[in-house]
């Protein structure tokens, strides 16, 4: 295979080589080139220090990293990151090196990297440096650490999660000794910050078959350290239309969730996490009343542990809390509007994606005539007055007619008017509502 670097990459590398410096493309960029995948991030390593690089790129560059990562901003806004050759010594917290020193050779830099397929380097001419059998592991679709896996995972425990994430993305198999090392060192993941774990989990959630990525997370012992709540559903049988136990159903729902939002994907995985807590009975006769209420609390707890933003927590909570909605054709418009208010319009499409995933993950058909009718009604009811703000009058009208100042009374009148309009949208006429203000004010 002839490897050719993009012109923008060659242009930057020529700036280094023209000054007599060494410069190589490294890591995932080389890996993805060899796999003929799109390269999203271009990373480089060089023998120049950040101070020396600044002389080559005095403008549109910066260095804000304690480990010597120099960033070059291209004209289109893309950023290339270049690190000085370095060696790392001792990782007493299993997260950060106690000491970082500039290295003198490419070999020193590559030997500190995590996986063989990430320890590949390419020069400006497309020539590869492969010191640890990375190409062979790519050809055999294997994930393997550089050197002793216990050493690599002891240096940075997040590497265990990264190994499973990359295996999930590429659909590779983790080499036996590497996987055994993850099982042995799984508890070290507790030393890693929640946001770093979250970012890796999100990448797994966005793979083509994310449910399959959670199987090695479970089997490696990492999942019990990260998200033990989800494992209580393993081997827990369900009744009715369900053909899987709670755990397997959750994985199938995740695999069939067609949202591109990782929070919604996580909601698909966690939507039934409350079932083991509320379960009553045995086998297929077991019931799970109010599991969505309990599950929403568990999901929120997990989200906080993973350092979710307030918006992400709100989304996760609502999707899990309200996923057990009915789609009967006998539902009133008022009931449908209440459902939308609970979920919010912002997350309505995400809830539809979750509900579809739940159905398919249960072994049911993807849709039904009731489900299709319900989706149409979700659109139609939003054309009707949906909140007090949709009334053809407002608080100023109430205050003017009743000759009062801003007060609780204004809101009470508007709420009473909206309740009537909600039952009969035709009443949302300005003249009609103005005529009713005095009537409601006397109540």
Co-location of 258 and 373 in the same domain: yes
Co-location of 145 and 217 in the same domain: yes
CATH number at residue 7: 3.30.460.10
What share of residues in the chain are helix, strand, coil (percent, to 5)? 55, 10, 35
Boundaries of domain holding 100: 1-131
Of 226, 260, 280, the position where a domain reaches its end is: 226
Co-location of 302 and 235 in the same domain: yes
Are the beta carbons of 132 and 146 closer than 8 angstroms?
yes
Q: Which of 91-95, 296-300, 316-320, 357-361 has the lowest mean pLDDT?
A: 91-95
Determine the pLDDT at residue 385: 67
Determine the pLDDT at residue 390: 82
Co-location of 324 and 186 in the same domain: no
d(CA 409, CA 402): 10
Co-location of 365 and 241 in the same domain: yes
pLDDT-derived band of residue 47, with 50, 70 and 90 as boundaries? Answer: very high
Of 208, 226, 244, the position where a domain reaches its end is: 226
Local structure of 87: helix, strand or coil: strand
pLDDT digits (tens, 9 = 90+) for 117-164: 999 999 999 999 999 999 999 999 999 999 999 999 999 999 999 999
pLDDT digits (tens, 9 = 90+) for 25-38: 999 999 999 999 99
d(CA 259, CA 159): 27
pLDDT exceeds 90 at position 244: no
More confident residue, 224 or 376: 224
Question: The tokens of 25 are what?
Answer: 């493309």
67 belongs to a structural domain: yes
Determine the pLDDT at residue 236: 86
d(CA 56, CA 76): 19
Of 383, 408, 428, the position where a domain reaches its end is: 383
Co-location of 332 and 397 in the same domain: no
Co-location of 287 and 337 in the same domain: yes
Determine the pLDDT at residue 289: 87
Which whole-number Å values give the CA distances from 59 to 15, 26, 72, 202, in the listed order?
A: 14, 24, 9, 34
pLDDT exceeds 70 at position 91: no
- Number of structural domains (the chain) is 4
Most confident of 37-46, 262-271, 363-372: 262-271
Are the beta carbons of 371 and 326 closer than 8 angstroms?
no
pLDDT-derived band of residue 12, with 50, 70 and 90 as boundaries? Answer: very high
More confident residue, 374 or 352: 352
CATH number at residue 194: 1.10.110.30
Are the beta carbons of 303 and 313 closer than 8 angstroms?
yes
CATH number at residue 337: 1.10.3210
Determine the pLDDT at residue 100: 63
């Amino acid at each position: 295979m002839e490897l050719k670097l993009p012109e923008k990459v060659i242009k930057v590398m020529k700036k280094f080589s023209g000054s007599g410096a060494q410069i190589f493309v490294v890591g995932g960029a080389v890996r993805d080139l060899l796999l003929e995948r799109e390269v999203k991030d271009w990373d480089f390593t060089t023998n120049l220090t950040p101070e020396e690089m600044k002389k080559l790129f005095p403008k549109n560059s910066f260095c804000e990293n304690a480990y010597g990562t120099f960033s070059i901003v291209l004209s289109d806004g893309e950023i290339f990151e270049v690190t000085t050759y370095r060696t790392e010594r001792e990782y007493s917290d299993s997260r950060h090196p106690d000491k970082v020193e500039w290295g003198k050779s490419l070999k020193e830099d590559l030997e500190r990297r995590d996986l063989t397929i990430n320890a590949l380097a390419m020069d400006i001419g497309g020539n590869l440096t492969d010191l640890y059998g990375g190409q062979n592991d790519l050809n055999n679709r294997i994930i393997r650490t550089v050197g002793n896996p216990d050493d690599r995972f002891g240096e940075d425990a997040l590497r265990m999660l990264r190994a499973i994430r990359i295996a999930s993305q590429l659909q590779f198999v983790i080499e036996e000794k590497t996987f055994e090392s993850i099982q042995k060192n799984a508890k070290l993941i507790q030393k890693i910050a929640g946001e770093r774990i979250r970012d890796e989990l999100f990448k797994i959630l966005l793979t083509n078959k994310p449910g399959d990525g959670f199987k090695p997370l479970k089997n490696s012992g990492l999942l019990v350290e990260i998200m033990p709540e989800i494992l209580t559903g393993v081997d827990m049988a369900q009744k009715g239309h369900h053909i899987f136990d709670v755990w397997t159903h959750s994985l199938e729902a995740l695999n069939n969730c067609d949202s591109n939002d990782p929070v919604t994907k996580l909601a698909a995985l966690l939507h039934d996490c409350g079932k083991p807590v509320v379960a009553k009975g045995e086998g297929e006769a077991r019931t799970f009343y109010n599991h969505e209420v309990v599950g929403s609390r568990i999901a929120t707890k997990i989200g906080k542990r993973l350092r979710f933003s307030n918006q992400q927590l709100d989304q996760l909570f609502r999707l899990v809390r309200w996923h057990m909605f009915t789609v009967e054709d006998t539902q009133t418009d008022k009931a449908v509007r209440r459902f939308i208010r609970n979920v919010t319009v912002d997350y309505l499409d995400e809830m539809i994606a979750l509900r579809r995933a739940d159905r398919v993950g249960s072994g049911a058909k993807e849709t039904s005539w009731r489900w299709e009718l319900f989706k149409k009604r979700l659109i139609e009811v939003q054309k009707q007055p949906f909140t007090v703000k949709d009334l053809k009058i407002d608080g100023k009208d109430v205050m003017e007619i009743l000759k009062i100042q801003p007060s609780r009374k204004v809101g009470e009148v508007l709420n009473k008017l909206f309740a009537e309009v909600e039952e009969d949208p035709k009443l949302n006429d300005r003249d009609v509502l103005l005529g009713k203000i005095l009537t409601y004010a006397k109540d």
